[in-house]
């Protein structure tokens, strides 16, 4: 059996790489015990660090000691359970950050982040997360993904995908999270879009607004000069929230000062990561068609 190591939370500001059990098709943790014949074991190729991981490591929302962190995963299937029909060993896949069954009322409505069957503690299961239901995180060498036919996203031609694997790793969380916000805001071609916050999700949303949604103008505000420089390079107008308008009048004051007139602006503020769990699997699949076409053409 292959060795398995993972990034393990041992306390605030204390994470270590440790040997962890090799996964099987069963979840046996204090939170829940269940067999998962519908699962797949995935060998990780690329994982990303999310702001939510930092919140946990720094003690803001500390997980249980011993939690394997990580929920942004891309990898290769090495084994499938007997109930899996659409995937096979060797397939390259993107793994969503939330655990969904695809069968409950919420999943049928597209609310996969509030699945009713994957977490006895609350609606919605999440990998390596505070109160996520006990599912092992993806910052490991191997991980079991339940309900594989519903959750996994195939990346197509393996050799072509591997040459763009770091780009395609964005499909696991950050790209669909950013795009879903624009989708929910009904951004249309030619719109002026305001994004408060130039962190990773905010910058990705800005890129999506310009390159996918066809926004006519994107305004990004932040307190950090380095972040605003990145937004400017992308072609965004930038606003320093340390300005007089930002400190005195907040977001509305900044926008009015910037535009010097009233304007209809569709706006979205990147929520705190622990609350930004509304990404739809349907959005991921739609985005994957765009992304894989762009990267693999």
CA 66 to CA 232: how far, in whole Å? 41
Overall average pLDDT of the 93-98 stretch = 92
- Taking the CA atoms of 125, 25, 23 and 168 in sequence, report the sign of the dihedral they define: negative
Q: What's the CATH number for 176-274?
A: 3.40.50.720
CA 39 to CA 42: how far, in whole Å? 10
What is the average pLDDT value for the chain, to the nearest integer? 84
Helix (H) or strand (E) holding 120: none
Between 294 and 230, the higher pLDDT residue: 230
| 287: pLDDT strictly greater than 60 | no
Q: Could you say which of 3.30.1490.100, 1.10.1740.10, 3.90.180.10, 3.40.50.620 is the CATH number of the domain covering 5-159?
A: 3.90.180.10
Overall average pLDDT of the 42-52 stretch = 92
Overall average pLDDT of the 168-191 stretch = 88
Q: Identify the pLDDT of residue 260.
A: 55
Q: Identify the pLDDT of residue 245.
A: 58
- Ordered strands of the 217-222 beta sheet: 237-240, 217-222, 192-196, 266-268
| 233: pLDDT strictly greater than 50 | yes
- pLDDT digits 0-9 by tens, 98-124: 999 999 999 999 899 899 999 998 999
| 141: pLDDT strictly greater than 70 | yes
- pLDDT digits 0-9 by tens, 185-203: 888 899 888 898 898 889 9
| 86: pLDDT strictly greater than 90 | yes
Q: Identify the pLDDT of residue 284.
A: 44
Q: Identify the pLDDT of residue 249.
A: 61
Ranges of each domain in the chain: 5-159, 176-274
Cβ-contact 14, 28 below 8 angstroms: no
Q: Identify the pLDDT of residue 251.
A: 65
Q: Identify the pLDDT of residue 289.
A: 38
Identify the residue whose tokens are 């270590």.
16
- pLDDT digits 0-9 by tens, 12-26: 999 999 999 999 999
Token output for 107: 């999943």
pLDDT confidence of 296, banded at 50, 70, 90? very low
In order, the DSSP letters of 50-65 are -HHHHHHHTTSS---T
Of residues 39, 119, 124, 123, the one with CA closest to residue 85:
39
Cβ-contact 95, 41 below 8 angstroms: no
pLDDT confidence of 181, banded at 50, 70, 90? confident
């Amino acid at each position: 059996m292959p060795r398995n190591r993972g990034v393990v939370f041992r306390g605030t500001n204390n994470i270590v790489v440790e040997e962890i059990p090799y996964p099987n098709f069963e979840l046996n943790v204090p939170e829940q015990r269940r067999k998962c014949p519908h699962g797949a074991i995935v060998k990780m190729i690329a994982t990303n660090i999310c702001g939510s991981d930092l919140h946990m490591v720094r003690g803001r929302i500390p997980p249980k000691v011993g939690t394997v962190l990580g929920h942004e995963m891309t990898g290769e299937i090495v084994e499938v359970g007997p109930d899996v029909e659409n995937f096979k060993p060797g397939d390259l896949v993107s793994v969503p950050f939330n655990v969904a069954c695809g069968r409950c009322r919420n999943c049928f409505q597209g609310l996969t982040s509030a699945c009713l069957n994957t977490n006895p503690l609350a609606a919605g299961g999440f990998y390596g997360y505070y109160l996520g239901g006990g599912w092992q995180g993806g910052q490991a060498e191997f991980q079991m993904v339940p309900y594989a036919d519903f959750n996994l996203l195939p990346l197509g031609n393996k050799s072509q995908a591997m040459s763009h694997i770091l780009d395609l790793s964005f499909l696991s969380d950050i790209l669909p999270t950013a795009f879903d916000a624009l989708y929910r805001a009904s951004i249309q071609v030619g719109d002026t879009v305001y994004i408060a916050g130039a962190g990773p999700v905010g910058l990705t949303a800005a890129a999506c607004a310009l390159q996918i949604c066809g926004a006519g103008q994107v305004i990004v505000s932040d307190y950090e000069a380095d972040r605003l420089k990145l937004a400017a390079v992308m072609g965004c107008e930038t606003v320093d929230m340390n300005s007089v308008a930002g400190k005195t009048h907040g977001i509305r004051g900044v926008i009015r000062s910037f535009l010097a007139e009233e304007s209809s602006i569709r706006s979205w503020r990147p929520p705190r990561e622990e609350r930004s769990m509304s990404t739809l699997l349907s959005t991921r699949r739609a985005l994957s068609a765009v992304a894989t076409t762009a990267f693999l053409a």
